[in-house]
Amino acid sequence: MNLPDDAPLVGVLALQGDVHEHEVVLNRVGARVRRVRRAEHLDGLDGIVVPGGESTTIGKMLRRFDLLDDLAARLAGGLPALGTCAGMILLSRELDQDFDQPLLGVLGVRTRRNAFGRQVDSFDTSLDVAGIDGGPVDVSFIRAPVVVEVLDDDVEVLAAVDLGPVVVRQRNLLATSFHPEVTGDDRLHAGWVATLGS
Ligand code: GLN
């Protein structure tokens, strides 16, 4: 897709998970996209998407590709991020589980993986998200996590379900439990991209 050179440049962490789906939506809402697999791919980005997939795998690959510390430092330094599903898990400072896995650890929440059950319990729904106009957003919960505890005062809960918060924002970090990139409803990406410097 031809996008102007001054369109925001968004990285998509491309180690595992639904990289392509995010790229398609990001292009549709006017962002240029770069796949991020090495630390130098982080240079010059206006934002980065940490996609859904399998958080343990992505965490281990972040370490193996020598990206974990660099990406965490960029995020701590203010690089805007959108983390979806496994991406929310990886951004979280703490997990509600009894084994360690590599985390970026920059978002002040405690998160529970697979909070809605197993694959067969995955579901599509629509949900009011604070700041997104035009009615509930169509989203897909696929073995989704939930925030079980907000750890910092400046974490804003933008959407919640019975189990807890499913969209949270802290400064430069936005995280969703669900997949917004597979339903054709682009408003969450569009709203996020609109906040990025060009
Ligand atoms: N259940 C996965 C995990 O814990 C996340 C699922 C997803 O990203 N759709 O990493």
Instruction: Print the domain residue range for 86.
Output: 9-195
Q: Is residue 98 part of a domain?
A: yes
Q: Is position 181 annotated as part of the catalytic site?
A: yes
Q: Please check the confidence at residue 57 and state whether its pLDDT lies above 80.
A: yes
Q: Report residue 98's pLDDT band, with 50, 70 and 90 as the boundaries.
A: confident
Ligand 1 centre to CA of 53 (Å) is 5
Q: Is residue 113 part of a domain?
A: yes
* pLDDT, tens digit (0-9, with 9 covering 90-100), for 4-53: 888 999 999 999 999 999 999 999 999 999 999 999 999 999 999 999 99
Q: Is residue 27 part of a domain?
A: yes
Number of domains into which the chain is organized? 1
- Active-site option among 85, 94, 156, 189: 85
pTM recorded for the entire structure: 0.96
- Interval 143-161 mean pLDDT: 98
Ligand 1 pocket member 143 (CB < 6 A): yes
- pLDDT, residue 4, reads 85
Ligand 1 centre to CA of 88 (Å) is 9
Q: Is residue 2 part of a domain?
A: no
Probe target for ligand 1 pocket from 142, 148, 181, 183, with the most ligand atoms within 8 Å of CB: 142
- Alpha carbon 30 to chain centroid, angstroms: 18
- pLDDT, residue 6, reads 87
Q: What are phi and psi of 110, to 5 degrees?
A: -110, 130
Q: Is position 22 annotated as part of the catalytic site?
A: no
Ligand 1 atom nearest 54 alpha carbon: 10
The one-letter amino acid code at 98 reads: D
Q: Report residue 185's pLDDT band, with 50, 70 and 90 as the boundaries.
A: very high
- pLDDT, residue 69, reads 98
Ligand 1 centre to CA of 56 (Å) is 9
Residue 7 near residue 47, CB atoms below 8 Å? no
Ligand 1 atom nearest 52 alpha carbon: 8
Q: Is residue 154 part of a domain?
A: yes
Cα(86)–Cα(77) distance, integer angstroms:
22
Mean pLDDT of the chain: 96
CATH number, position 101: 3.40.50.880
Q: Is residue 121 part of a domain?
A: yes
Four-residue CA torsion sign, 88, 90, 94, 100: positive
Q: Is residue 140 part of a domain?
A: yes
